[in-house]
Structure 1
Amino acid sequence: MRSLVKCLPNNVFLASNPVDVKWGNFSLLRAELSCMRDLLARSGTWKYLINLTGEEFPLVTNLELVTILKRLGGRNIVDGPYKVTDKHKVRRLPDELPFGLKPFKSSTHVALCREAVNYIMNSNISKTLLNLLQHYPFAEESFFAILEHNQNANFPCSRHQFQPESHNSSQKIFGLNSVKFAPRYKQWAGFNKSKCPSKNLQREICMIGVKTLPEIVNKSYGRALAVNKFPWTFEPMAWDCMMTWHHNRKVQELKTGTIDPKFYQNWRNASKT
Structure 2
Amino acid sequence: NITCADILHGDPSLHSNSSIYTRIRQYLNTAYTPWVSIRKYFDWGQNCTEFKRIRGYVTEPLSEEEGKFPIAFTILAHVDIEQIERLLRAIYHPQNQYCIHVDAKSSVYTIQAIRAIAACFDNVFVATKLEHVIYAGFSRLQADINCMRDHLMFSTEWKYLINTAAMAFPLKTNAELVQILKIYNGANDIEGMHRRVLNARIKLEWIVVDQDIKQTGRKNPDPPHDLKIVRGSAYGVFSRPFVEYMMVEQKAVDLLEWSKRTFSPDEHYWATLHHTMRNPHLHPPGGYEGDPDTKPWLAVYANWEPYKPTSNTTCYGHERNSMCVFGVGDLPALIKRKELFCNKFVIKFEPTALECMEAWIRQK
The TM-score normalised by the length of structure 1 is 0.78
User: Quick one: distance in 1 between partners of 2:140 and 2:201?
Assistant: 19
User: Quick one: distance in 2 between partners of 1:55 and 1:88?
Assistant: 25
Greater C-alpha radius of gyration? 2
Gaps of at least 5 residues in structure 2 are 1-113, 207-218
Answer yes or no: is 1:78 the counterpart of 2:190: yes
User: Quick one: distance in 2 between partners of 1:206 and 1:55?
Assistant: 12
The one-letter code of the counterpart of 1:233 is K
Q: Which residue in the other structure is 1:188 paired with? A: 304
Q: Which residue in the other structure is 1:133 paired with? A: 259
The match for 1:29 among 122, 141, 161 is 141
**Higher-helix-fraction structure:** 1
The one-letter code of the counterpart of 1:200 is H
Q: Which residue in the other structure is 2:339 paired with? A: 224
Compared CA separation, residues 85 and 20, structure 1 to 2 (3 A): closer
Q: Which residue in the other structure is 2:128 paired with? A: 16
* Runs of 4+ more than 6 Å apart: none
The one-letter code of the counterpart of 1:154 is H
Q: Which residue in the other structure is 2:229 paired with? A: 103
Q: Which residue in the other structure is 2:333 paired with? A: 215
User: Quick one: distance in 2 between partners of 1:86 and 1:248?
Assistant: 46
Instruction: Give aligned-pair identity as a percent.
Output: 32
Gaps of at least 5 residues in structure 1 are 162-177, 250-273
Asked if structure 1 preserves the Cα contact closer than 8 Å seen for 2:228 and 2:272, the reply is: yes
Q: Which residue in the other structure is 1:38 paired with? A: 150
Deviation at 1:190, TM superposition (A): 5.9
The one-letter code of the counterpart of 1:103 is I
SS at match of 1:153: coil
User: Quick one: distance in 2 between partners of 1:203 and 1:32?
Assistant: 21
Deviation at 1:18, TM superposition (A): 1.3
SS at match of 2:335: helix
The one-letter code of the counterpart of 1:69 is L
User: Quick one: distance in 2 between partners of 1:117 and 1:199?
Assistant: 35
Q: Deviations over 1:144-202 (max 9, x none)?
A: 111111221211111139xxxxxxxxxxxxxxxx8334211111126649965235112
Deviates more, 1:117-126 or 1:58-67: 117-126
Asked if structure 2 preserves the Cα contact closer than 8 Å seen for 1:48 and 1:111, the reply is: yes
User: Quick one: distance in 2 between partners of 1:214 and 1:42?
Assistant: 38
The match for 2:321 among 192, 203, 206 is 203
The one-letter code of the counterpart of 2:119 is K
User: Quick one: distance in 2 between partners of 1:54 and 1:27?
Assistant: 17
Equivalences, count: 229
The match for 1:152 among 265, 273, 281 is 281
Q: Deviations over 1:63-103 (max 9, x none)?
A: 00001111101000101234214444445794522212111
User: Quick one: distance in 1 between partners of 2:317 and 2:289?
Assistant: 41
User: Quick one: distance in 1 between partners of 2:125 and 2:317?
Assistant: 37
Answer yes or no: is 1:63 the counterpart of 2:63: no
Q: Deviations over 1:126-158 (max 9, x none)?
A: 111111110112001011111111221211111
User: Quick one: distance in 1 between partners of 2:331 and 2:117?
Assistant: 29
The TM-score normalised by the length of structure 2 is 0.59
RMSD of Structure 2 on Structure 1 (CA) = 2.2
The one-letter code of the counterpart of 1:159 is Y
